[in-house]
Structure 1
Amino acid sequence: MEKIETFVGGMIILFSAVVSYFLMRRDKREGKQKSAKLPLPPGSMGWPYIGESLQLYSQDPNLFFFSKQKRYGEIFKTHILGCACVMLTSPEAARFVLVTKAHLFKPTYPKCKENLIGPSALFFHQGEYHLRLRKLVQCSLSPDSIRNIVQGIEDIVASILDSWAAQKDTVINTFDEMKKLSFDVGILSIFGQLEAHYKEKLKKNYCIVTKGYNSFPTMIPGTTYKNAFLARKRLSKILSEIISERKEKKLGGKDLLGSLLNSKDEKGEILTDDQIADNMIGVLFAAQDTTASIMTWTLKYLHDDPKLLELVKAEQKAVYELNNGGTRPLSWSQTRNHMPTTNKVVLESLRMASIISFTFREAVADVEYKGYLIPKGWKVMPLFRNIHHNPEFFKDPQKFDPSRFEVAPKPNTFVPFGSGLHACPGNELAKLEILVMIHHLVTKFRWEVVGSQSGIQYGPFPIPLHGLPARFWKESSS
């Protein structure tokens, strides 16, 4: 079956390459016609058929983007993944696309990924529907809402850390374990307290779906994508059961499901069950891997800097003692006001790791930017990592230095959660989750990284090599 899937995948790539070749010829022809007035940005469209996709994926993708920026400047064109693209590497350009002229650039995702998440998820849309759903999601993930689940997040973190410590002599994949943590926190924020059998069904099937996000989109039985597609159907049925129960019991709640169920538009119309399900899956998709990635990187950065780790430990021990040796739960105000050093560590981790290295948009009309033409239909990619690692904005950008956040970054130079109407609405929940995890880890546990402590892998988000293999144990037993 793997050979069949590989063959089919190869045929898909070949077909895509042929199609992209003709599209590229058309785009170049149209570009030449339009460039009588405005030139296209500088850059290379690469080889016929495949553009520069091989150059992108035969090396660290960041090297590809940084070398292009060095050669062509803050705006350049290329052709990757079957698409003519314009790359933008300045804060002003990112703001132009994501904020000031956002109506000219629509979010774009592969159709195969949209099918697995659900076509009604808010980040596939613009206009009134998007604004309505975004308001609902933002409300359920706002500080006023998530301050009520701090103790619930603590319980999840404490449980998973104890499970690691119980395997003291076992090397664990830190990233995989952080995904479990983020999934449980996502479930808490969406459903509040959910019955265990529902949680296990959701976890089992969602795990299969996640494997399909970046697989070849073939519907041949037994392939990764087909399995993910079937698991997504099962998720719909499970979510439908949960929604029906909540409706029957007429339960409200400040969680996301409660907000979606209680929503009515100006005409008094409610959301359909499919719309509700798609947006719950969308929140899990947006939250799990990204938050797990940044938590894994934060552990690595602390492990690699013993002096910084001791500073964070001292700060968290002080909070621990305020809570009577950990017998009282953390409070929202403590995470906001009593963890200044730890908060700067989180911000610097977000900058260094730049989990969301770029975002995709598509020009819905011909757009002029700084004398260049961005043709309608071309993909536009603001490169967040290039901005975060630009020495003009962050001195010695390859150095992990939380003290740089003692002063606020220049406007639009620090955008780890995106910007504009499509910025991540769950940023406060993600930061809270990271702070709670750090608090419990450094006050009660110790850990050591096993094997190589350098290297990055992409899947598709950057994570430490092999998911950061490590051992964990309770500090009192060391």
Structure 2
Amino acid sequence: MALFILIILGLAYCWRSFSFISEFSSPSGIYSFMNKRQQRYGKVFKTFVLGRFSVFMTGREASKMLLAGKDGMVSLNLFYTGQQVLGPTSLLQTTGEEHKRLRRLIAEPLSVDGLKKYFQFINNLAIETLGDWPRRTVLVLEEAFTFTLKVIGNMIMSLDPACEEQEKFRANFKLISSSFASLPFKLPAIDFHSGIQARDRMTNNVLTLLVASHDTTTAALTSLIKFLGLNPAVLEQLRDEHRQIQGNRNGVNLTWSEVNNALHRQAQVINETLRRATISPWFSRKAAQNFEIDGYKIERFDEPPKPFSFLGFGSGQCICPGINLAKLKILVFIYHLYPIVAETL
């Protein structure tokens, strides 16, 4: 008899979870789930969904209590699937001082001043997105989802809205968002399983960008300063270029035009540093086909470099996508270095 009761309870709990997922995924969203139970049980009710008992509350007083209550009274507690997909150190998972610390870290880039540089991009993207709406039938939810992700993708990974990687980013994020309210089973047909896989793909690529952009630029700057210390004549030539630029300028700050048009000697020094120093992380390679190398000879830059002889940032399909960002950071850094260093390093 006890076993029979447990089976009945188990089936009832599973049915409630299936019902929650079904209604949560419907066009009306969680409203349908809440409305049916609110009419039956009142504004506050408890039910079992997605592996745990949860209390659902509606109304102004409930919102005030949950969102503006005292610290420590309640904290965000995602369903198990959401916890697993986002991870324990997510801003949505942490509480107390750790949560405040993470919020401080993201406050600056998301402030009004921090977002100014993205205004024109968002403006142009909105015009482009809305431009063809009058000529076709649109699914507003899908269009809004795509638009917001294009903005986020550009802000955090500089993805072009029309590139293939942006579409992969959108597809993976869609899998992740749909997994938050799903059955907690790692099976191919379950959204939770797809969300975990999509999370891993995105994590791998973000970590790759962080590692690649940090290590190469750090190594290049270190080597460049070392070489300047060993070649005081070159350092003096860079000082002359620096003084000339300062003399021709009205303002005090380095401008984008100067970066592109005036720092000729500095650009040559950077290229020579990249030629002489090994800045790329050491990675082994796996041959995709048979090939042959007859031998090589490193040439100076007196003649145009031969293809694949300048490998500071890789080459071909494997060339570092952050090459221009890295060079810009090095240019600006070295430009401001000259006035504060001694005559010889």
TM value normalised by structure 2: 0.48
Larger Rg: 2
> More relative contact order in 1 or in 2 (CA 8 Å, sep 6+)?
1
TM value normalised by structure 1: 0.36
Name the structure where strand makes up a greater proportion of residues.
1
